[in-house]
């Protein structure tokens, strides 16, 4: 699943709490917009921390233990078919 552009609720892992505990105040879970994915982890924008700016934070893959996001299977919208129609 591609996370770029999604609002995701994260729960920090023990190593994430140790690394980011001072940065993310208020508990081990937070909501963030995923701006970019990389080999190292996710570049995120945290509304609570960076409300007025566009600063982003690298959340390394092992810094979070769980993530929750809205997953809504939706019916794909079919485009009208091009081509010939059988005469009625």
Partner 1 sequence: MGANFRVNVPSGFSNPDAQDLSETEKGAARGMGLTEEQFRQSKIQLFLAEQQRRERGRDLGEQVQSILSELGSEHHLISVTWNGNTLSWTLGIAAPQGSQNVVVSRELVDDALDSRTRSELQRLRNMILFGLGRQELILKH
If binding is defined by CB under 8 A, does position 8 make contact with partner 1?
no
Q: CA-to-CA distance for 79 and 11, rounded, in angstroms?
A: 39
- Per-residue tokens: 27: 């508990």
Q: CA-to-CA distance for 68 and 32, rounded, in angstroms?
A: 11
Count interface residues toward partner 1 (CB under 8 A).
Answer: 17
Stretches 2-10, 14-22, 57-65, 80-88: which one binds partner 1 (CB under 8 A)? 2-10
The minimum distance between CB 34 and partner 1, in angstroms, equals: 9
If binding is defined by CB under 8 A, does position 5 make contact with partner 1?
yes
**Which residues are CB-neighbours of 66 under 8 A, at least 6 positions away?**
10, 11
CB 16 within 8 A of CB 41: no
Q: CA-to-CA distance for 75 and 64, rounded, in angstroms?
A: 31
Q: What x/- string results for residues 29 through 68 when contact with partner 1 is judged by CB under 8 A?
A: ----x-x---------x-x---x--x--------------
What residue ranges bind partner 1 (CB under 8 A)? 2, 4-7, 33, 35, 45, 47, 51, 54, 70-72, 74, 76-77
């Amino acid at each position: 699943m591609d996370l770029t552009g999604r609002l995701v609720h994260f729960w920090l892992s023990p190593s994430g709490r140790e690394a980011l505990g001072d940065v993310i105040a208020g508990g081990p879970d937070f909501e963030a917009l995923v701006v970019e994915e990389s080999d190292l982890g996710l570049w995120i924008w945290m509304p609570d921390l960076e409300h007025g700016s566009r600063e982003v934070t690298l959340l390394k893959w092992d810094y979070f233990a769980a993530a929750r996001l809205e997953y809504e299977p939706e019916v794909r919208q079919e485009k009208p078919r091009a081509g010939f129609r059988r005469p009625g």
